[in-house]
Amino acid sequence: MEAIRFSAQVSALSVIGIYPGTFDPLTSGHLDLIERGSHLVDKLIVSVLANEAKQPMFSVEERTEMLRESTSHFTNVEVDSFDGLLVEYASAHGATLLLRGIRAVSDYEYELQMALMNRRLNPKIETVFLMAGESYSFLSSRLVKEVIRLGGDVKDMVPPNVEERLRARLLGATAGKR
């Protein structure tokens, strides 16, 4: 009887996760994490960090729009933006889980420091690290922008809507699609 009561309590819980990032631009690696992360929670909020100190190429509104276009097929994913402390944003949205991607040891060192600070600020929010998919472990927004600038092909590295915007932004509106 006790196990049945416990199961009913667990099924009534709703786990909300936040996947924060700059997403400048959104890559196929980000989409891979969104897809896998969406299976771990009842609702995943992918939230664009409004951090002008990073001097992003795209505005928060543009990044949010690209994310919405690219994630519209996920039924439990919503897109938002935030500034300020992540744990405060997460608390305001009822989130108890932060999703972070790890590509390499260098990512882990930075992400561990952030996770420990977030835990210190709010111990009720857990950070979950997901390893990048093998085919995306090298991929970064910075590298994608560099490849585009140098005329390279990024069609497998970003969604089509993002590639189109990157080409227009970096190569001019007359560059067209590749």
pLDDT of 3: 52
Record the pTM.
0.87
pLDDT of 178: 45
Contact yes or no for 97/132 (Cβ under 8 A): no
CATH number of the domain at 13-137, out of 3.40.50.620, 2.102.10.10, 3.40.1190.20, 3.40.50.10860? 3.40.50.620
Q: What is the mean pLDDT of residues 135-155?
A: 92
Q: CA geometry: angle at 123 spanning 118 and 37, to 5°?
A: 65
pLDDT band at 52 (very low <50, low <70, confident <90, very high): confident
Contact yes or no for 24/165 (Cβ under 8 A): no
What positions carry a catalytic annotation? 30, 54, 103, 141
From the list 90, 44, 101, 50, the residue with the least C-alpha distance to 71 is 44
d(CA 133, CA 147): 20
pLDDT band at 2 (very low <50, low <70, confident <90, very high): low
Query: Is pLDDT larger for residue 54 or for residue 133?
Result: 133
